[in-house]
Structure 1
């Protein structure tokens, strides 16, 4: 009798193998769900950051060149 034949013909080993496979599938699926949630969270954070960048660029675009230079001069290190 071959090893595969023994494994298939033995119901106890077949049940154990099925349980192991079920646990592995659940673990992999859980990891995928976690990765999807993490990606969605990261995308939301990036969208928020882009909104802030757009707002700042809009504010700077509304300033005159002299105002921009004055702000930059205040913020640079001596």
Structure 2
């Protein structure tokens, strides 16, 4: 067993192949993580846009301007 391990560690070709495989796995994992983060960011922007658009529709249906709504909501805020 020790002879096999010694051969694998001392052979530069096998070390280069092993290093290449590890590098490819690391690059693949980083790509997946960054792709997932980009998708989460895209979805968050989409949700924020939908919420803003929904608020505009609610304001239009209520028949009030945004300034009037802010005035009515001021009594509920603690700022």
* Distance of 2:34 and 2:5 partners within structure 1: 34
Query: How much does 1:4 deviate?
Result: 3.1
Q: What is the TM-score with the length of structure 2 in the denominator?
A: 0.68
Q: Which runs of 5+ in 2 are unaligned?
A: 65-79
Shift >6 Å, 4+ stretches: none
CA gap of 1:61–1:12, structure 2 versus 1, over 3 A, is same
* Distance of 1:46 and 1:15 partners within structure 2: 47
1:15 is matched with which residue?
16
* Distance of 2:27 and 2:5 partners within structure 1: 25
What is the alpha-carbon root mean square deviation over aligned residues? 1.7
* Distance of 1:44 and 1:4 partners within structure 2: 52
Say how many residue pairs are matched: 63
* Distance of 2:33 and 2:55 partners within structure 1: 33
1:55 is matched with which residue?
56
Query: How much does 1:51 deviate?
Result: 0.6
Q: What is the TM-score with the length of structure 1 in the denominator?
A: 0.69
Q: Which runs of 5+ in 1 are unaligned?
A: 64-78
